């Protein structure tokens, strides 16, 4: 495979002003895939001024909403045409199994662009019944030049979630992919050009957070920053936005989701849901069901079944279509997860299965299950972002709600029960942006996603995401 490795600025592929490059690794082999241009503040300046020009006076600023929609449809079609190639590229760079990139990342990315293609010309203002002899109406206007900073766990999909609504709304964008996984975003850049992208509308700057990322967040001519990543960096981004030009901020941050199984649940389905909840994407998922609450009556049996299934998961070559769990994204992430596993053992949790690297080469881990009566150990509190689930037991409904909510995060939760009353009681009392009932990790471009508490704010996907890239203007016209 040949990779695009340059920066996309104003529709041109260019080297970084500094001439610097950085190494991008295949985490399954630990071998270098490419040297990629490393953007920093100087490149950010050029990209932002291009995005500003495109927003204020370029051809894009004269596109009708329907034309923007047609452009987004073309992107979706091109992604579809290049689906297998992109799935393979994502797998090579991220380490996730090709069965997932082909059947989850790619279809969801394509659907996201299609959804916003259709939505583009259905965004409108309102007329309002004000007092007095006035005609009052609102205009919904694009926010302007948007910085989008994304993580490495779903590189292409996160780009789609960010670009879809921003472009539907008519914003222009500077996108910074994660340092570990820039390749699919750069390939997407080539497809954007093929789809007829006007200059400056989407600029793609691989580089590092503290340099390129921070330059975007501090830039006086960026109107908004949309971020997905860790809560710690999210807080820093808000500070930078506040200290510069009060640019708008939306944050999709970490999680530590409770996945709650009642004794009356369909246990076969719940075991599958618990597996999918934590081992999908090697556990590198912000909404992973990483705290597994099992009602006392089924606790032992459930863990036995989970252990049996976890040990049968096929860990291995991400390019093999039979593989169910691939490699962690980087050595840093691999070491961090092993550190959490050590803390679990040290603090007295019972290791039910896994707890070690799967092979001697590549960043592969065994699916890992811990159990403990206490849910205040480090592995029950901190986001691990790996294939490690922390199980515990609970007695009653009254007990589970405060325990499930006893976290600084609030991104998602799973509930497994046949009792409709429990379903709706928990749907109301759990503080999280998404509640999955008798299912887990369901996504659709139409359904909003985002956090309560320190999991961030703002909702991506659906019509809600339009809020992130638009602002409302009130117009008063005297009729006297």
Q: One symbol per residue from 278 to 297: x for binding ligand NAP (CB under 6 A), - otherwise; what is it?
A: --------x-----------
407-418 b/e (C-beta count within 10 Å ≥ 16 → b) = bebbbbbbbbbe
In this chain, which residue has its C-beta nearest to ligand NAP? 209
Classify residue 328 as left (phi > 0), alpha (psi -120 to 50) or beta. Answer: beta
Which is the catalytic residue, given 111, 179, 252, 284?
A: 252
- DSSP β-ladder status, 31-37 and 21-26: antiparallel
Distance in angstroms (rounded) separating the CA atoms of residues 423 and 37: 50
Q: Measuring CA to CA, which residue among 199, 168, 202 is closest to residue 186?
A: 202
Binding flag, residue 176, ligand NAP (CB under 6 A)? yes
In whole angstroms, the minimum distance from the beta carbon of 284 to ligand NAP comes to 7
- The verdict on whether 252 is a catalytic residue reads yes
Which span sits near ligand NAP by CB under 6 A: 6-14, 209-217, 259-267, 418-426?
A: 209-217
Name the burial class of residue 66, with classes exposed (0-12), middle (13-18) and buried (19+) by CB atoms within 10 angstroms of its CB.
Answer: exposed
Distance in angstroms (rounded) separating the CA atoms of residues 367 and 324: 11
Binding flag, residue 228, ligand NAP (CB under 6 A)? yes
Q: One symbol per residue from 365 to 404: x for binding ligand NAP (CB under 6 A), - otherwise; what is it?
A: ------------------x-x-------------------
Collapsing DSSP to helix, strand or coil, 182 comes out as coil
Sole binder of ligand NAP in the list 44, 217, 249, 445 (CB under 6 A): 217
**Which residues share a beta bridge with 368?**
388
| Binding footprint of ligand NAP, residue count (CB under 6 A) | 26
In whole angstroms, the minimum distance from the beta carbon of 429 to ligand NAP comes to 24
Structure tokens, 105: 């990342």
Sole binder of ligand NAP in the list 95, 165, 254, 450 (CB under 6 A): 254
Sole binder of ligand NAP in the list 5, 153, 372, 407 (CB under 6 A): 153
Structure tokens, 359: 């092979």
Structure tokens, 156: 């292409």
* CB proximity list for 237: less than 8 A, separation 6 or greater: 149, 217, 225, 227, 249, 251
Sole binder of ligand NAP in the list 144, 200, 229, 367 (CB under 6 A): 229
Sole binder of ligand NAP in the list 3, 22, 208, 359 (CB under 6 A): 208
Which is the catalytic residue, given 90, 286, 287, 454?
A: 286
Catalytic residue numbers read 252, 286
Binding region for ligand NAP (CB under 6 A): 149-153, 176, 178-179, 208-210, 213-214, 217, 228-230, 233, 236-237, 252-254, 286, 383, 385
């Amino acid at each position: 495979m040949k990779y695009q490795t340059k920066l996309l600025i104003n529709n041109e592929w260019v080297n970084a002003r500094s001439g610097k490059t950085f190494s991008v690794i295949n985490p399954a082999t630990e071998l270098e895939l490419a040297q990629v241009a490393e953007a920093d503040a100087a490149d950010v300046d050029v990209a932002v001024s291009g995005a500003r020009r495109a927003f204020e006076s370029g051809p894009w600023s004269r596109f009708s909403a329907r034309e923007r929609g047609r452009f987004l449809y073309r992107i979706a079609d091109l992604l579809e045409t290049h689906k297998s190639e992109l799935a393979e590229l994502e797998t090579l760079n991220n380490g996730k199994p090709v069965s997932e990139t082909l059947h989850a990342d790619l279809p969801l990315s394509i659907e996201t662009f299609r959804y916003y293609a259709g939505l583009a010309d259905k965004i409108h203002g309102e007329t309002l019944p004000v007092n007095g002899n006035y005609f009052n109406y609102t205009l919904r206007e694009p926010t302007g030049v948007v910085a989008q900073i994304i993580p490495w766990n779903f590189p292409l999909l996160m780009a789609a979630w960010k670009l879809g609504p921003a472009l539907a709304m008519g914003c222009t964008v500077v996108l910074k992919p994660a340092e570990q996984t820039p390749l699919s975003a750069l390939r997407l850049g080539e497809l954007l050009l093929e789809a007829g992208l006007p200059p400056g509308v989407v600029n793609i700057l691989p580089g590092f957070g503290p340099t390129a990322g921070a330059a975007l967040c501090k830039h006086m001519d960026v109107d908004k920053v949309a971020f997905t990543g860790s809560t710690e960096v999210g807080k820093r981004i808000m500070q930078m936005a506040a200290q510069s030009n009060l640019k708008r901020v939306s944050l999709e941050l970490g999680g530590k989701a409770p996945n709650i199984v009642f004794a009356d649940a369909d246990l076969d389905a719940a075991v599958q849901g618990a597996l999918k909840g934590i081992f999908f994407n090697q556990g590198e998922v912000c909404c992973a069901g990483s705290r597994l609450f099992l009602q006392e009556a089924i606790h032992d049996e459930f863990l036995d079944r989970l252990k049996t299934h976890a040990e049968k998961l096929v860990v291995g070559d991400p390019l093999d279509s039979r593989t169910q769990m691939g490699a962690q994204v980087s050595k840093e992430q691999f070491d961090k997860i092993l550190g959490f596993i050590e803390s679990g053992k040290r603090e007295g949790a019972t290791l039910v299965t896994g707890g070690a690297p799967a092979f001697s080469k590549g960043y592969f881990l065994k699916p890992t299950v811990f159990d403990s009566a206490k849910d205040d150990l480090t592995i029950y509190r901190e986001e691990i972002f790996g294939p490690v689930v922390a199980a515990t037991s609970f007695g009653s409904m009254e007990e589970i709600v405060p325990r499930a909510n006893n976290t600084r995060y609030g991104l998602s939760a799973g509930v497994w029960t046949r009792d409709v009353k429990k379903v709706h009681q928990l749907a109301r009392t759990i503080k999280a942006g998404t509640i999955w009932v008798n299912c887990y990790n369901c996504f659709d471009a139409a359904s909003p996603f985002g956090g309560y508490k320190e999991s961030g704010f703002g909702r991506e996907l659906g019509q809600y995401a339009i809020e992130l890239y638009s602002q409302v203007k009130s117009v008063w016209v005297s009729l006297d």
